[in-house]
Amino acid sequence: MNPNFLLSSLILLAGALVLVYLIYAALPAAFLRAENALRFRFSKHPKKELYLTFDDGPDPNYTGKLLDLLAENGIRATFFTVAEFAEQNPELIERMKDEGHSIACHSLSHKCAMFQGPQDTLADLTHTLEIMHGLGVNVRYYRAPWGLYNLTLIRELKRLGIRRVLWNVMIGDWSGRVTVSTLSHRLLARVSSEAVICLHDGRGTDHAPARTIKTLETVLPELKRQGYSFKTFQ
């Protein structure tokens, strides 16, 4: 075979694969993020309300302590749980329900949808919903890991009537290199009316959720003092 023909065929194939990937995952993810940012930026007459949301739990080491803190402050939050972690910690899911928190979904096992084909995406979502239904949770909201959706996930969530949720405020609380003081400053500086705040009660590096909880011990009373109230995705 002519080596030039082989080379141009390979280049063409690689180009076609990149195009498919862009259409299937990269462009939809970028579009949803841009749309979310613009909607928040141009929201008219926002109310002084915040949505406190937690991803990556439940975690037996941290979620209980976080629930204690939320109860002390009379605040309800939305937990975007990883279904396999929820299955391993049913008592924490029960506690969330008993204490009036909203329980939503954050995938089956925290895989990135950008690297999953249609079949894997559907299989993971089906299994996720089976686990959550088994725990008595009717899933109405879904946040994909890293906020990255592919076309299959977008279409299937729409078909099931499950709404996608991204965020407006993120402070890097998963990092092992950030201090409680930095997290507190970032959170207070970035919060504004109707913001969806994304924090983490599981995973992270070097006991990250412990720093998230420590941060909230001082920041939650301060946000209440500033006149903010807290809402959940219901």
Rounded to the nearest whole angstrom, what is the least distance from the CB of residue 107 to Zn ion in the complex?
8
Say whether residue 56 binds Zn ion (CB under 5 A). Answer: yes
Q: Which region, judged by CB under 5 A, interacts with Zn ion, from 55-63, 117-125, 217-225, 226-234?
A: 55-63
CA distance 171 to 207: 16
> Closest residue to Zn ion, Cβ-based?
55
- The Cα 226–Cα 21 span in angstroms is 45
Closer residue to Zn ion (CB): 213 or 228? 213
Q: Which of 28, 57, 58, 145 binds Zn ion (CB under 5 A)?
A: 145
Closer CB to Zn ion, 56 or 59, in the complex: 56
SS3 for 206? coil
Q: 119-152 as b/e, with b when 16 or more CB fall inside 10 Å? A: eebeebbeebbebbeebebebbbbbbbebbbbbb
Closer CB to Zn ion, residue 55 or residue 124?
Answer: 55
Q: How far apart are CA 90 and CA 133, in angstroms?
A: 12
The residue range among 53-61, 128-136, 187-195, 217-225 that interacts with Zn ion, by the rule CB under 5 A, is 53-61
Q: Is 55 in the site for Zn ion (CB under 5 A)?
A: yes
- Shortest reach from residue 202's CB to Zn ion, in Å: 8
The reply on whether position 58 binds Zn ion by CB under 5 A is no
Stretch that binds Zn ion, among 67-75, 141-149, 154-162, 191-199 (CB under 5 A): 141-149
Q: Measuring CA to CA, which residue among 201, 105, 191, 101 is closest to residue 149?
A: 105
The 3-state DSSP class for residue 11 equals helix
The CA distance from 190 to 199, in Å, is 13
Q: Which stretch binds Zn ion (CB under 5 A): 8-16, 33-41, 124-132, 140-148?
A: 140-148
Residues that contact Zn ion, how many (by CB under 5 A): 3
Q: Which is nearer to Zn ion, 142 or 228 (CB)?
A: 142
- Buried/exposed 200-221: b ≥16 CB within 10 Å, e otherwise: bbbbbeeebbebbbbbbeebbe
* Residues of span 184-203 touching Zn ion by CB under 5 A: none
Cα 6 → chain centroid: 44
Q: Is residue 59 a contact residue for Zn ion (CB under 5 A)? A: no
Residue 71 CB neighbour total at 10 angstroms: 14
Q: What share of the chain is helix, strand, coil (3-state, %, to 5)?
A: 55, 10, 35
| Contact flags string 11-50 toward Zn ion, x per CB under 5 A | ----------------------------------------
User: Can you give the binding site for Zn ion, defined by CB under 5 A?
Assistant: 55-56, 145
